[in-house]
Amino acid sequence: AQSVSQHNHHVILSEAASLELGCNYSYGGTVNLFWYVQYPGQHLQLLLKYFSGDPLVKGIKGFEAEFIKSKFSFNLRKPSVQWSDTAEYFCAVNAESGGGADGLTFGKGTHLIIQP
């Protein structure tokens, strides 16, 4: 079974700082990779995804992530954060198997606080 590890559980940054949130997964086969975000009081929503092709993917609100297969990593980045980026960020993996991929395996999440 696959697992997902997010290195930072709580991150506090000032506005305009650069952000990188680490995500590693364990699974030897083909995976689909996601970052979801949950803003305060709102539901989980997709930030970006990687299925195949260019390992550098761009998402909404200036976020991007890079898939490094050799490192089993899918780190999330943003060059300059804003106060409105305060949220919980979840990395998730969906492993392809013979019968197709099933549900998502999530990391424990990173609580990001941006200070004005």
- Tell whether residue 4 is a contact of other proteins (CB under 8 A): yes
> Based on CB atoms, which residue is closest to other proteins, 13 or 104?
104
Cα–Cα separations (whole angstroms), residue 27 to 22, 24, 35, 36, 91: 17, 10, 17, 20, 14
CA torsion through residues 67, 71, 76, 77, sign: negative
d(CA 73, CA 9): 17
- Tell whether residue 109 is a contact of other proteins (CB under 8 A): yes
Residues 53-92, interacting with other proteins (CB under 8 A):
90
d(CA 63, CA 47): 7
By the 8 A CB rule, do 87 and 40 touch?
Answer: yes
Stretch that binds other proteins, among 15-23, 55-63, 67-75, 106-114 (CB under 8 A): 106-114
> Based on CB atoms, which residue is closest to other proteins, 37 or 114?
37
By the 8 A CB rule, do 112 and 9 touch?
Answer: no
Q: Which amino acid is at 56?
A: L
- Tell whether residue 113 is a contact of other proteins (CB under 8 A): no
> Based on CB atoms, which residue is closest to other proteins, 17 or 32?
32
Stretch that binds other proteins, among 28-36, 57-65, 66-74, 78-86 (CB under 8 A): 28-36
**Which spans of this chain sit near other proteins (rule: CB under 8 A)?**
4, 32, 34, 36, 42-46, 49, 90, 94, 96, 99-109
